[in-house]
Amino acid sequence: MRRLLAAGVCGAALAAALAAPARAEEPDRRPPHWELKDSGTDVRFRGLSAVSRNTAWLAGSRGTVLRTFDGGASWRNVSPPGAAELEFRDIEAFDHKRAVVLAIGEGEASRIFRTDDGGETWTESFRNTDARAFYDCVTFFDRRHGLAMSDPVDGKFRILSTSDGGRSWKVLPSDGMPAAQEGEAGFAASGQCLVSSGPRDVWLATGGAARARVLHSSDRGLTWTATDTTIPAGDPARGVFALAFRDRTHGIAVGGDYRADQPSPRAAAVSGDAGRTWTPAAQPPPAYRSGVTWLPHSRSAALAVGPTGTDLTTDGGRTWRTLETGSYDTVDCTPDLGCWASGEQGRVARLER
């Protein structure tokens, strides 16, 4: 209990420090900020799984997987052999040794690998054989149970399920999945188009169609309900790109239009009822955002990232302000206040206090 209370106090202090303006009487004291770490590569890391302040995994283009044990001071290339032609977009790590990574693409380009020895060896546990499927994201409820999602096949999003930690996968029946809109799909931009909270709840973010929606399942993907969000869609480049739920009730959605020359109004929305309804942020991020995470041990603070910057909310997603303008695609935080972000040109950073 003491440890939990201390973590909660530290989480609140971190949120307050991020929100506080710099003091003129303390010119040498920097507020919390992203500190870049040298990844030693120029690949784009849209997949990120933070284990702690010291340990994190990255997954990116050219079949690249990196891992750090020392807070980003050094990175080890633990990429699966023969994966150089694959595009890794999501990774879920259980600890410093065990992780599952997802490669995206049409047909057999969509694959899932698992390691149990820190990336020394990998086992390919799933290879898509349906040319119509395109897998985007993966999430886990616990160390055994997880889901992966594909863009619609035969008019419905396709869901994979595992009950052995990603060692084997099966396609779930589509009876409980509502029909997809014409052109509707997920965005494999940050590994956050499919997210879970607790033992059974999972949410799926969509775009590219007339309406940007969030689909919710409370039974590990067997049955789903779909709700329209206030984030604009109506174009293949627009919609909800990332979700974060701090519990099974309170969620944040971010997105917009990923094209740099297009505006992204109403790029964030919040839900207080498990995603049944969504309210637009009164003061949204100023541009497209592809990743979002709640700050640990905080009921109201979260970070959103995108190519043009990082934004902070301290009121549960209703208002946002820009902290930095560096480019990141995804962001993740851990209970010990380890927050990480990664993106293009090998960029990876840890939040320093």
pLDDT digit string (tens) for 155-197? 999 999 999 999 999 999 999 999 999 999 999 999 999 999 9
Q: Under a CB-based contact definition with an 8 Å cutoff, are residues 283 and 301 in contact?
A: no
Residue in the block written with tokens 């409370």: 218
For the cut 60, the answer to whether the pLDDT of residue 2 exceeds it is no
Q: Look at residue 255 in the predicted model and tell me its pLDDT.
A: 98
Q: Look at residue 16 in the predicted model and tell me its pLDDT.
A: 74
Q: What is the CA radius of gyration of the chain?
A: 19
Name the more confident of 297 and 16: 297
Q: If you average pLDDT over residues 289-307, what whole number do you get?
A: 97
The per-residue pLDDT of the chain, averaged, comes to: 94
For the cut 90, the answer to whether the pLDDT of residue 17 exceeds it is no
Which residues are CB-contacts of 69 (< 8 A; sequence separation ≥ 6)? 54, 55, 96
Which residues are CB-contacts of 36 (< 8 A; sequence separation ≥ 6)? 326, 347, 348, 349
Structure token digits, residue 149: 């999602």
Q: If you average pLDDT over residues 85-93, what whole number do you get?
A: 98
Q: Look at residue 137 in the predicted model and tell me its pLDDT.
A: 98
For the cut 90, the answer to whether the pLDDT of residue 139 exceeds it is yes
197-220, pLDDT tens digit by residue? Answer: 999 999 999 999 999 999 999 999
Q: Look at residue 4 in the predicted model and tell me its pLDDT.
A: 44
Q: CA quadruple 281, 286, 290, 296: dihedral positive or negative? A: negative
* pTM for the whole structure: 0.94
Instruction: Please provide the distance, in angstroms rounded to a whole number, between the alpha carbons at the two ends of the chain.
Output: 24
For the cut 60, the answer to whether the pLDDT of residue 5 exceeds it is no
**Enclosing H/E stretch for 101:** strand 99-106
